[in-house]
Structure formats: structure tokens, C-alpha cells
Chain A
Amino acid sequence: MIINNHIKKKLVIKSKTENLSTIREFVSENANDAGLSKEEIDDIILAVDEACTNIIKHAYKSFPDGEIIIAIDYTKKKFTIKLIDHGTSFNPDLIPEPDLQKYYRQRRVGGLGLYLMKTLMDDVQYVSIPGKYNQVLLTKNLRNPE
């Protein structure tokens, strides 16, 4: 679908980790169609994987029948991915920056995915309407306009 030079694609998929590969392929194909560089595509794939992994594990607490809506919207200037779920909401501001030395002592990791998303993308925005939906908006600004 093309509206005002925006190309839009959508995938609706169940909240199972086995679907992560399908999600990555969906993102990869569209990022490729958008003409992004290999590095940009790799960054976006990983950021979306991390976001969806968080949705599956935290929003849906590994309940496999939740729904994840993945909506891609791109122009020549930017590539955005909107992820919507109807699971438990969370406040990303309460997730601390990862501290590997602390993880080492506690033998657990957390917050790595969120940190990667923020590092790999130009913008990460969360909107949560508790009891209704959560939305993550990931944006990559494109650096090679012709």
C-alpha cells in the first residue's frame, strides 16, 4: 500500500519465540525493498527481534496466543516499525541501563534488548495504554537518499 509516498506493510503474528524467524524475514524483505544498506538492515532486524522477544516474554509472559501486530512504514527518509501488543504494559524508563559486572554477580541478564534497540535505532518510543495496548515505535533515519 502506498499513501503519500509512504509504503506500508503489516504482519500479525502469535506471541511465540518460534515466530521470531518469520518476523526477521518480514522485516528483512521490506528493508531490502526500501533499498537499505546491509548494515542498516541488520540493525533493524535485531532491534525488532529484541522488541518482539520482550513482548513475548514480558508483555505476554510467554503466553503463546497473544497477538503482535508489526506495521512497517517507510519513505525515502526513514524506515519505521510499529509493534503493538495487548499484553501487560511496562514503563521503559524503569529499566536500568545494563551493568554486566552486576549481571555477572547475579548470574542473570536483563535490559540488554532495550539497550540494543536504543543503540541500533535512531529513535525508540513507547506508548502504553494499560488494559488496552502497548506500542513500540522504532525508527531508522535513512542515510543514503539519492
Chain B
Amino acid sequence: MAEFNTSVKDQGEISIVNLKGFLDAHTASILENTLSNQIEKNKYKIVVNFSNLTYISSAGLGVFMAFIEKVRENGGDIKLSSMSDKVFNIFDLLGFPLLYEIFNSEEEAVKKFTE
């Protein structure tokens, strides 16, 4: 059974979502719930930290597409950080760097919100 979980920490008005494990068509709903919860709380500034994410399939990438427009309409963004080369390669193959800001570190992503 693939393990995947998320944890959220608040840093001022920014929510930092940490991903851990394997994100696939089975576990994508966990991430959907996490992002839905942020939006319900009107938290639209979201940094997703991928440093502990081992694996992602297109079902996982689809979750980010589902929420991005609503988040941006409300003055926020979903910024991505700390991907392994393997995970970044999948985002890159599908053209996500055109639509999402991807940072090397969580700190850089947070800083971009505060500029």
C-alpha cells in the first residue's frame, strides 16, 4: 500500500503544505482534501514543499490544476518548491513550469509571496 500524507504549517498568511511519499491516482484525493481545506479557510497563499515526495504520477499533477484558478482569482497562488530532479522532470515534461513558479527552496517560495 502506497503511503502518502500531507502536513500543513502556517507561516503568517502563507500555508506551507509538505508532501510525503507516493502521490498517485489513489492518494491524490488526500492532497485534494488538504488544498480544499486551505481554500475553505480563505488561505490562498500556498507553498507546496516536495522535498519528501518520492513519486508523482499525472493524477497528482492534476490536483494542482484543479485548484490554481480559484486560488489566483482570490489574489493567491500555489508555488512549488524543493522537488527532486525526478519529480521536477515530470512537471517539466508536461509543461507545468509555464503555469507554476517552481523554486529550489521553500524559503525562496515564501519570500516571493512577501515581495
Chain A-chain B contacts (Cβ-Cβ < 8 Å), number: 76
* Total number of A residues with any Cβ neighbor in B under 8 Å: 28
Chain A residue numbers with a CB within 8 Å of B70 are 107
* B18-32 contacts to A (CB < 8 Å): 22, 24-26
Q: Give the CA-CA distance A81 to B88 in the complex, in Å.
A: 25
Whether A104 pairs with B26 at a CB distance below 8 angstroms is no
Whether B61 pairs with A112 at a CB distance below 8 angstroms is yes
8 Å CB contact of A112 from B58, B68, B69? B58
Q: Give the CA-CA distance A110 to B9 in the complex, in Å.
A: 31
Whether A21 pairs with B65 at a CB distance below 8 angstroms is no
* B46-69 contacts to A (CB < 8 Å): 55, 57-59, 61-62, 65-66, 68-69
8 Å CB contact of B65 from A20, A42, A49, A107? A107
- Chain B interface, DSSP helix/strand/loop, else mixed: helix
Chain B residue numbers with a CB within 8 Å of A116 are 57-58, 90, 93-94
| B95 proximal to A (CB < 8 A) | yes
Range class of the B interface residue count:
20 to 34
| A119 proximal to B (CB < 8 A) | yes
Q: List 19 A-B contacts (CB under 8 A).
A: A17-B26, A18-B26, A21-B24, A24-B2, A49-B24, A49-B57, A53-B25, A53-B57, A98-B94, A100-B65, A100-B96, A109-B58, A112-B61, A113-B58, A113-B59, A116-B57, A116-B90, A116-B93, A116-B94
A contacts, CB < 8 Å to B: 16-18, 20-21, 24, 42, 45-46, 49-50, 53, 56-57, 98, 100-101, 103-105, 107-109, 112-113, 115-116, 119
